[in-house]
Amino acid sequence: MMLRFIGVTLLLILIAALVLLFAAVVRTLLLKKKSTNFELSADEARIELYSRKLSEMVRFETVSHRGFPEPDKFRAFHGILEGLFPKVFESMEKTDIDGNLLMKWKGADDTLDPIILTSHLDVVPAEGEWKYPPFSGAIAEGKVWGRGSADIKCGVMAFYQACEELLEEGYVPPCDVYLGSSCTEEIGGDGAPKIADWFRQRGIRLFMLCDEGGSLVEDPVGGVPGNFAAVGIFEKGYGDLRFIARSSGGHSSTPPKGTPIPRLAQFISHVEKHDPFTVKFSPAVDAMFENLAPYCSSFLMKLVMHNLWLFRPILKKVMPMISTEAAAMLKTTVAFTMQKGSEGYNVLPQEAWVTANLRYIPHQGMEESNALMAGIAKKYGLETEIVTAGNPSRELDLKGEPFRMTRDAIAKVFPGVGVMPYVVTGGTDSRFYDGVCDSCVRFSPVNYGPEQLAAMHAVNENVVAACLPMAVDYYKEIIRIQEERLQK
């Protein structure tokens, strides 16, 4: 009797599974296949003009250094911008906040909440051997080369140029438009917080913020060919933790068990082998898969991406094993980055430490993730010190007006390009504006191919010159599309 019951139960489970699979197959067959189409600009006059302006911006070195603020250097760079975009500086109200630059373009209706277009002014150091000198701003091979060309002076150039051209037309925006640029983004400094605090002190809430974080990308996932606008929906939190092992020290010729370095090694090994963080799909990841499904080259991939309701449990197990990028979108990550022990080869350390960099996911934020790490560290007799920590950013509403406006602007300027919501695993200035803006859109309207992505913060950074006209046009459209708010 028991065997018959088990057999009937298994049969029913099998039938149910087949019914669900059949439903998924039918849904997939009904999904219309899509493909993307993307062409670079052929307007040689605009390409030459914008390349020249970006080149001049790259030639001015704006490396930021942690612990060494250089506001005067960035004020000198403001002068470069003024020379390149004279109408912007003639027509807008300028505010200098310790070298961080904020420009205000007064709109027609001051009852509408303003928008801000933002990209940072600072760049990372340029080390190694470059094809073209890193601060030459060389225009060659159809690209603008140099540190900051792609990250992210091309964005600064594009929205300043967009405003310059609109001002030349005599255009008046429907709402106030701010141009905000910090000089400390690359060092996680206080530039963007100071700009955000400027709005907070004046009781100004921003309707929409446009910053870096996403871009136009090629073939974003294996099996999904084409060109897509990757729009960052939120960014993960950031934390640096130090784990400290102490002892009485001593001579290395008579070592006891459990000295600091072996305890740290055991702790690191435990975390590497037994990941303490929970894998979970967020609305952003769900939306990314759903938007990519029609573009899949194989039926199997389309079946899986279009039916997360059925395959999500399997993907949660598989994705972190096949891709570090996928894993980073689904869970808090931890990377061990620095360590220190004894000063002598034959001396047992009284204190040794290792640091870990954490990127917090919303479903397991800063406090919970730090507590998990501290709990494991305690088992190995380690102390935990939180050097810095911040929660994930607010998530952009995929049904809200700012996202719709972003999607519509992309469709107009980049017809044929797919839109892909995604999780920003790095950090941007946007996270500091959560207190004054509910809708932070992380998207730079420039084309980053494999070459450009590989050169970010590395040697031979460059941006394709023919993508610059569309970047300018995108920011024009973001400003113009705000007119819809006047009609409501």
Residue 14 resides in a domain: no
- Whether residue 207 sits in one domain with residue 129: yes
Q: Judge if 195 and 300 occupy the same domain.
A: no
pLDDT over threshold 80, residue 163: yes
More confident site: 426 or 6: 426
E-strand stretches of 193-296:
208-211, 216-218, 227-235, 237-246, 250-251
**How many domains is the chain partitioned into structurally?**
3
Question: What range does the domain containing 308 cover?
Answer: 279-330
Q: Is residue 295 part of a domain?
A: yes
In the predicted structure, residue 229 carries a pLDDT above the cut 70: yes
pLDDT for residue 321: 74
282: Cα within 13 Å, side-chain hemisphere: 30
Question: For residue 97, is the peptide bond before it cis, meaning its omega torsion is within 30 degrees of 0?
Answer: no
pLDDT, one tens digit per residue, over 172-227 is 999 999 999 999 999 989 999 999 999 999 999 999 999 999 999 999 888 899 99
| 72 in any annotated domain | yes
Angle between helix axes 44-59 and 71-84 (nearest 10 degrees) is 160
Residue 23 lies in a domain: no
Q: Which residue would you say has higher pLDDT here, 310 or 114?
A: 114
pLDDT over 70, % of the chain = 97
* Coil, strand or helix at 252: coil
Residue 223 is classified by DSSP as: T
Q: Model confidence over 78-118: pLDDT tens digits?
A: 999 999 999 999 999 999 999 999 999 999 998 999 999 99
Q: Please state, in angstroms and rounded to a whole number, the distance separating the CA atoms of residues 215 and 80.
A: 26
Residue 59 has pLDDT above 90, yes or no: yes
Of the ranges 121-130, 215-224, 466-475, which one carries the lowest mean pLDDT score?
215-224
Residue 445's pLDDT band, with cuts at 50, 70 and 90, is very high
Residue 39 in domain: no
In terms of domains, do 174 and 113 share one? yes
285 and 203 housed in the same domain = no
Residues 249 and 369 in one domain: yes
Does residue 32 lie in a domain region?
no
Q: What is the mean pLDDT of residues 43-66?
A: 97
Residue 204 domain-assigned (yes or no): yes
Q: Answer whether residue 417 shows pLDDT above 60.
A: yes
Q: Which amino acid is at 406?
A: T
Q: What is the pLDDT of residue 316?
A: 86
**CATH code of the domain containing 259:** 3.30.70.360
CB atoms within 10 A of CB 327: 17
The residue-averaged pLDDT of 63-83 equals 96
Q: Are residues 349 and 446 in the same domain?
A: no
CB 122 within 8 Å of CB 151: no
Q: Which CATH number fits the domain that encloses residue 150?
A: 3.40.630.10
Do 307 and 175 sit in the same domain of this protein?
A: no
**Residue 206 or residue 251, greater confidence:** 206
Q: What is the pLDDT of residue 109?
A: 93
Check whether 8 has a pLDDT greater than 60: no
pLDDT at 1: 55
Alpha-carbon distance 158 to 284, whole Å? 27
Spatial CB neighbours of 55, under 8 Å, sequence gap ≥ 6 = 137, 138, 139, 144, 146
**pLDDT score for 469:** 98
Instruction: Compute the chain's Rg from CA coordinates.
Output: 26
Question: pTM for the full model?
Answer: 0.91
Give the pLDDT of residue 3.
Answer: 54
Instruction: Compute the average pLDDT of residues 312-325.
Output: 82
Is 185 inside any structural domain? Answer: yes
pLDDT tens digits, one per residue of 367-399: 999 999 999 999 999 999 999 999 999 999 999
Mean local confidence (pLDDT), 297-306: 91
> Within its chain, how far is the Cα of 197 from the centroid?
22
Of 147, 231, 130, 218, nearest to 451 (Cα)?
A: 218
- pLDDT top residue among 14 and 469: 469
The confidence score (pLDDT) of residue 5 equals: 52
**Both ends of the chain: CA-CA distance in Å?**
69
175 and 259, same structural domain? no
468 φ/ψ angles, rounded to the nearest 5 degrees:
-70, -40
pLDDT-based confidence at residue 314 (cuts at 50, 70, 90): confident
pLDDT at 21: 81
Mean pLDDT of the chain: 93
Q: In the prediction, which pLDDT does 7 show?
A: 54
pLDDT given for residue 203 in this prediction: 97
One domain for residues 348 and 480: no
Q: Are strands 177-181 and 351-360 parallel, antiparallel or unpaired?
A: unpaired
